[in-house]
Amino acid sequence: MNFIKHNLAKLALWFLKNTKYCDEKTKNMILSEAVAHLFNTIKAEDILKENSDGTLRFENKTLPPEFRKDLKEQAKLLPNLLLWKVLMKDIEYQLNKKMFLEPLITQDVMWGKLLTYLKDIINTRVEKLKK
């Protein structure tokens, strides 16, 4: 079955690239949708959110009330774990190395900044969960 899906997707993409019946904007929209399905992209419903009634929702499922307390305790514990400290220090070193010591092209600096932003997102989420 996967073989058929794979070949069907390849055929559809070939047709889309070679068609004269839609503009570039439409092609890009269709390709973006196809890539989203191929790579199982994360949607807003998949991340942790608070519902209007105060319950938490994750991966489009409402979590039991005790999960809020568990997440808070884990968020308080996480920054103190040696593994967490080791990983964060390694990430910082790798980012700095890529951006300042070994940049080969301008995009290396850009990727380093994007990954620094990712680290910031993780730290911000942990801090919010502590509260």
Does residue 126 lie within any of the structural domains? yes
Instruction: Note whether residue 81 is domain-resident.
Output: yes
Distance CA 84, CA 77 (A): 10
CA–CA dist 126, 80 (Å, integer)? 12
Q: 25 in a domain, yes or no?
A: no
Q: How many domains does the chain have?
A: 1
What angle, rounded to 10 degrees, do the helices at 106-130 and 66-77 form? 130
Domain assignment of residue 27, yes or no: no
Q: Is the pTM of this model over 0.75?
A: no
Asked, for residue 88, whether it belongs to a domain, the answer is yes
Tell me, yes or no, whether 34 lies in a domain.
no
Q: Which residues, 6+ apart, have CB-to-CB distance to 30 below 8 Å?
A: 16, 22
Provide the domain limits for residue 78: 64-131
Q: Give domain status of residue 39, yes or no.
A: no
Give tens-digit pLDDT for 70-88. 999 999 999 999 999 999 9
pLDDT tens track for 48-64? 999 999 899 999 899 99
Cβ neighbors of 76 (< 8 A, separation 6 or more) are 130
